[in-house]
Amino acid sequence: GEDVEQSLFLSVREGDSSVINCTYTDSSSTYLYWYKQEPGAGLQLLTYIFSNMDMKQDQRLTVLLNKKDKHLSLRIADTQTGDSAIYFCAEREDSNYQLIWGAGTKLIIKP
């Protein structure tokens, strides 16, 4: 079945760039998403990308999509302490529009 995989942890120094990676299996997905979950909170949509795009930039966030390798990445420039959170990658099944989720990557910021 469909599967979304991502590393469980990423540790970066404050001010550095963070790159969170994700691989997915459903090549027909129209949308791919990054959701952010801050401590004690629910998930919130951070950004998304259409499957016909290679890159999307939004202020400090850059999403890269490699459809051939089914690889999605989220780059956060100038990582701040407020970026500490769990970042979930998800793809949307075009058959029933439900999301398939990764396990989340916990971003740890070192001073």
Partner 1 sequence: ETGVTQTPRHLVMGMTNKKSLKCEQHLGHNAMYWYKQSAKKPLELMFVYNFKEQTENNSVPSRFSPECPNSSHLFLHLHTLQPEDSALYLCASSQDGTTSGGLGELFFGEGSRLTVL
Q: In this structure, what token pair is assigned to residue 25?
A: 């299996």
Q: In this structure, what token pair is assigned to residue 15?
A: 């001010």
19 closest CA partner among 59, 57, 69, 72: 72
- Smaller CB separation from partner 1, 8 or 19: 8
Q: How many residues bind partner 1 (CB under 8 A)?
A: 22
**Smallest distance from partner 1 to CB 15, Å:** 28
Strand ranges in the chain using DSSP code E only, listed in sequence order = 4-5, 9-13, 18-24, 31-37, 43-50, 55-58, 61-66, 71-76, 85-92, 99-101, 105-110
**Smallest distance from partner 1 to CB 98, Å:** 6
Among 17, 27, 44, 57, binds partner 1 (CB under 8 A): 44
Told to check if 53 binds partner 1 by CB under 8 A, we report no
Q: In this structure, what token pair is assigned to residue 37?
A: 């979950």
Binding to partner 1, residues 77-106 (CB under 8 A)? 88, 92, 96-104
**Smallest distance from partner 1 to CB 17, Å:** 25
Binding site for partner 1 (CB under 8 A): 4, 8, 31, 35, 40-45, 48, 88, 92, 96-104
